[in-house]
């Protein structure tokens, strides 16, 4: 199975490969920087979901894959609290698309305020932790859960939800 992944971010590519390998024989993966066509810092569930769908669609256009995954992170607000939110999309070459959302975790108020004034979580997390490339490893979710849930684990859950829907639908056909 030829599988495209619409990013080169390691937390995302590893998540797709770990899960997809379990369910698809002879998987061959391609990582492509597919456009999300949304802002670098999506600020709603709607925008984050759309980014994931666009990445999956564009990754398929850029490759000759049979399946493609788009994963996107963003933030969303409820009652003046800001949460990190995460979405995934799986597009099949026949055009069928599946979507699923992942875990959400609250951000500290000072980080939320920086994002409200135009900041992006990636660089803010590097400043906050004095560590580089958090977004490709633990992620904000890993930092704020003391390492219990990494960004990759969070995306693995989303990928399982996508692959599960694919298997359910295509095993009925
Ligand atoms: O290379 P790409 O695939 O773009 O990877 P990315 O790390 O920039 O990831 P996204 O564009 O999908 O999403 C960035 C958003 O993900 C969320 N996010 C969660 N943890 C993060 C972290 O540690 N660093 C950066 N973004 C994080 C946050 O809401 C960001 O706005
Ligand atoms: Mg990005």
How confident is the model over 91-113, as a mean pLDDT?
97
Query: Cα–Cα distance between 26 and 48 in angstroms, integer?
Result: 31
User: 78 - beta bridge partners?
Assistant: 81
Domain count, the chain: 1
Residue whose CA is at the smallest distance from ligand 1 atom 15: 73
57 CA to middle of ligand 2, Å?
Answer: 16
Q: Whose CA is closest to 106, among 121, 126, 127?
A: 121
Domain that holds residue 25: 2-172
172, pLDDT greater than 90: no
Q: What tens digit of pLDDT does each residue of 105-137 get?
A: 999 999 999 999 999 999 999 999 998 889 888
3-state SS track over 48-76: HHHHHHHHHHHHHHHCCCCEEEEEEEEEE
**Secondary structure (3-state) at 46:** helix
CATH number at residue 40: 3.90.950.10
Q: What tens digit of pLDDT does each residue of 19-63 get?
A: 999 999 999 999 999 999 999 999 999 999 999 999 999 999 999
| CB-based contacts of 63, cutoff 8 Å, min separation 6 | 2, 4, 30, 32
72 CA to middle of ligand 1, Å?
Answer: 7
Residue whose CA is at the smallest distance from ligand 1 atom 5: 9
40 CA to middle of ligand 2, Å?
Answer: 5
Q: Whose CA is closest to 96, among 19, 5, 173?
A: 173
């Amino acid at each position: 199975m030829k599988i495209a992944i619409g990013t080169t971010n390691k937390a995302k590519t590893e998540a797709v490969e770990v899960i997809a390998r379990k369910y698809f024989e002879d998987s061959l993966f391609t990582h492509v920087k597919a456009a999300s066509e949304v802002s670098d810092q999506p600020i709603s569930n709607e925008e984050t979901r759309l980014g994931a769908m666009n990445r999956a669609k564009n990754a398929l256009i850029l490759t000759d894959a049979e399946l493609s995954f788009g994963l996107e992170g963003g933030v969303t607000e409820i009652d003046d609290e800001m949460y990190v939110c995460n979405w995934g999309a799986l597009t099949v070459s026949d055009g069928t698309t599946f979507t699923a959302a992942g875990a959400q975790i609250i951000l500290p108020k000072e980080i939320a305020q920086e994002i409200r004034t135009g900041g992006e979580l990636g660089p803010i997390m590097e400043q906050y932790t004095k560590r580089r490339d958090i977004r490709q490893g633990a992620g904000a979710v890993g930092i704020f859960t003391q390492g219990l849930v990494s960004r990759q684990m969070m995306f693995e859950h989303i990928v399982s939800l996508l692959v599960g829907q694919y298997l359910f639908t295509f095993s009925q056909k």
